[in-house]
Amino acid sequence: MLEELLGLGRSKTRLDIINLMLDEGRPLSASEMAEKLDISLNAANIAIHYMNKAGLLNKVERGMYEVNVYAFCKAFLTFILGSKIKVYAGKSLENFSK
């Protein structure tokens, strides 16, 4: 999940969709996303497909999607805590080797 989240920066369309959905705070359809972002419906559908497959979006009903906030929180905590653990582990190893 963390890899998918970090990979959002490589796709402007996917990142724009996530930002739009977070700003709207409600489930959106592909056509709403396409209209609000001024992209083709096909581009929206492709991005939605890959984000849904990665677990970043949840299908809430036919044609409506929402951000999987649980996945975002979990990936964020993994990233933050992973960074902290590396820092602490490095300090522990430095002390151990002295």
Residue-wise pLDDT tens digits, 43-65: 999 999 989 988 889 999 999 99
Which helix (H) or strand (E) segment holds residue 95: the answer is helix 69-97
Choice between 77 and 2, residue whose per-residue pLDDT is larger: 77
CB 54 within 8 A of CB 17: no
- Confidence check: pLDDT of 94 > 80: no
Q: Is 82:49 a contact under the CB 8 Å cutoff? A: no
- Fold observed for domain 2-97: Arc Repressor Mutant, subunit A (1.10.10)
pLDDT at 9 over 90: no
Distance in angstroms (rounded) separating the CA atoms of residues 46 and 14: 9
First to last CA, the chain: 38
